[in-house]
Amino acid sequence: MKKTPFIFALLFCFNSAFGQTKQPWLFRWQNNKSNQHLKKHIPFDTLIATSGATLHISFDNKKNKPYLLLLHGMGANARVNWYKQIKPLSKNFNLILPDLIYFGESSSSSKIVSVEFQVQQIQEAISKLGINEKINVMGFSYGGLTAAVYNQLFHSKINKLIIIDGPVKYYSNQIADSMAHSLGVKSINNLIVPTTIEEFDGMRKAVMSSDVRLSKKMKQKIIMHKFLPFKDIRDKQMNYLISHESTYQNYNYNLDKTETLLIWGEKDGVIPSSVGVKLHQTFPNTTRLIIYSDTKHDAHFRKSNQLNEDVTNFLK
């Protein structure tokens, strides 16, 4: 697999949820490049109106290939988050890549920010695509929680589950803020959506396995174009998770019934690998845990070749 230029991969980590006008050329180039990559490997692209949202979904539907739903994290839309998975995984699976609601080209006038709402609208959209067989579901970070909630609500529709660095069950507000404080950042919200260079640097330390030199000017541009425009909606989403902590801790996500692969970065500075370890200890008969050494909250980039191989072997 051809290696992505380093600056390109870096921008992926900081990609915004929506396209912006008058962006610096490098950001526009990155967006166009990821669009071209998606269209090359995933033939269908559509907007689907559901009961509560409009969902942008890219998908394939070749015969005799199982379906794999990919749910992205808070830092990117679908095509960017899964850039390193799209080509290799599309060889064996019909990929379904929705932009989660309030990300990318997906939207809702309801302003509902619960994970359950995300899941219900995605399932409705998948049904409208005529996909009625069981699917596999993989999610990263916030998408990992979304994947787990998908299994909580629609267990009968899921074959296998993959959670990558997900804040599932054993993640808490206390852990989140402790991780932020250790990096000199006020709260988890400021780590997810940094508004200052200091917060931006803390986020990079938590997320990225490899450091890279960025000028102060570039940092400011990334903050201005990739984070600040979405601060209000991200704060609402994060505050909802914080206020409903007990709900997401009390779910068992049907992990005792579904074969599940747990993938974590050993040095994840956002959602520690201890969360994955506890999940595996609680559900030892149905889960398999893989921890990648020297990796933070970017396993799908840092260890993309290994992750793609592990995912394919697990699902096949």
Environment class of 40 (CB within 10 Å of its CB; exposed 0-12, middle 13-18, buried 19+)? exposed
End-to-end CA distance of the chain: 21
- Domain around 127: 6-315
| pLDDT tens digit sequence for 84-138 | 999 999 999 999 999 999 999 999 999 999 999 999 999 999 999 999 999 999 9
190 located within any domain: yes
pLDDT in tens, the chain (316 residues): 344 444 444 455 555 444 444 667 777 777 788 889 999 999 999 999 999 999 999 999 999 999 999 999 998 899 999 999 999 999 999 999 999 999 999 999 999 999 999 999 999 999 999 999 999 999 999 999 999 999 999 999 999 999 999 999 999 999 999 999 999 999 999 999 999 999 999 999 999 998 888 899 999 999 998 899 999 999 999 999 999 999 999 999 999 999 999 999 999 999 999 999 999 999 999 999 999 999 999 999 999 999 999 999 999 8
d(CA 202, CA 133): 43
1 located within any domain: no
pLDDT for the residue 23: 67
Structural domains of the chain, count: 1
Q: CA distances (Å), 152 to each of 48, 119, 144, 255, 258, in order? A: 23, 10, 12, 8, 10
264 located within any domain: yes
146 located within any domain: yes
17 located within any domain: yes
Task: Judge whether 144 and 76 are in contact, CB under 8 Å.
Answer: no
Model pTM score: 0.93
Helix (H) or strand (E) holding 159, with range, is strand 158-164
State the CB neighbour count (10 A cutoff) for residue 32: 11
57 located within any domain: yes
Task: Judge whether 8 and 33 are in contact, CB under 8 Å.
Answer: yes
d(CA 260, CA 168): 13
242 located within any domain: yes
DSSP string across the chain: -PPPPHHHHHHHHT--SS--TT--HHHHHHHHHHHHHHHHH--EEEEEE-SS-EEEEEE---TT--EEEEE--TTS-HHHHTHHHHHHHHTTSEEEEEPPTTSTT-B-SS----HHHHHHHHHHHHHHTT--S-EEEEEETHHHHHHHHHHHH-GGGEEEEEEES---SS--HHHHHHHHHHTT-S-HHHHHS--SHHHHHHHHHHH-SS-----HHHHHHHIIIIIGGGHHHHHHHHHHHHHTHHHHHH--TTTTTS-EEEEEETT-SSS-HHHHHHHHHHSTTTEEEEEETT--S-HHHHTHHHHHHHHHHHH-
Which two tokens mark 90? Answer: 């599309």
φ and ψ at residue 278, rounded to 5 degrees:
-65, -35
Task: Judge whether 132 and 125 are in contact, CB under 8 Å.
Answer: no
Which two tokens mark 219? Answer: 């940092």
pLDDT for the residue 33: 84
Residue type, position 200, single letter: F
265 located within any domain: yes
pLDDT for the residue 6: 41
Specify the CATH number for the domain of residue 209.
3.40.50.1820
Residue type, position 21, single letter: T
pLDDT for the residue 20: 40
